[in-house]
Amino acid sequence: MNIKTLNGIRAGWIVLSFVLAAVWRVEALLLLAGLALLGPALRESGALRDMDERERMLDYQASHYALVLLYILLIAYFGHALWIREENPEPMWYLVLVAPMLVRVGLYLGRAAGLRRLGLGLGFTW
């Protein structure tokens, strides 16, 4: 599949999601999550080779900035809940705050130190 065809499919997916949201239900915008997750999953598995090294690096940087923005928004939510509303956030929000950090550190250690050392570290930690 060439890049032109792939970009056409992506554009059609986006237009279809917005049309469904406009004429049916706003929850149809959740279909955009599939677009955001399916491409990187196929790209990382090797099934999709639509980027060169420079484009992959830019994609990784964009993902990193999105993760940092997520951290900023979550910390702002926690600060607002704890200091302004003076209530403790639901436990689910703690998981949303901690899960990306654990995944990021785990993937970094797995790739930098090797899977054996990551497994030993996780085993000793637990």
- DSSP result, 42-66: HHHHTS-----HHHHHHHHHHHHHH
SS3 content of the chain, % helix, strand, coil (to 5): 85, 0, 15
Confidence band of 66 (pLDDT split at 50, 70, 90) = confident
Question: What's the confidence (pLDDT) of residue 80?
Answer: 93
| 80, 126: one domain | yes
Answer with the one of 13, 28, 50 that is the final residue of a domain.
50
Determine the structural domain holding residue 95 and report its residue range. Answer: 52-126
| 31, 87: one domain | no
Q: What angle do CA 93, 95, 98 make, to 5 degrees?
A: 110
pTM for this model (two decimals): 0.62
Answer with the one of 50, 69, 85 that is the final residue of a domain.
50
Question: Running DSSP on this structure, what letter comes out for residue 11?
Answer: H
Distance CA 76, CA 63 (A): 20
| 44, 57: one domain | no
| 91, 73: one domain | yes
Give the helix/strand (H/E) hosting 15. Answer: helix 3-23
Confidence band of 50 (pLDDT split at 50, 70, 90) = confident
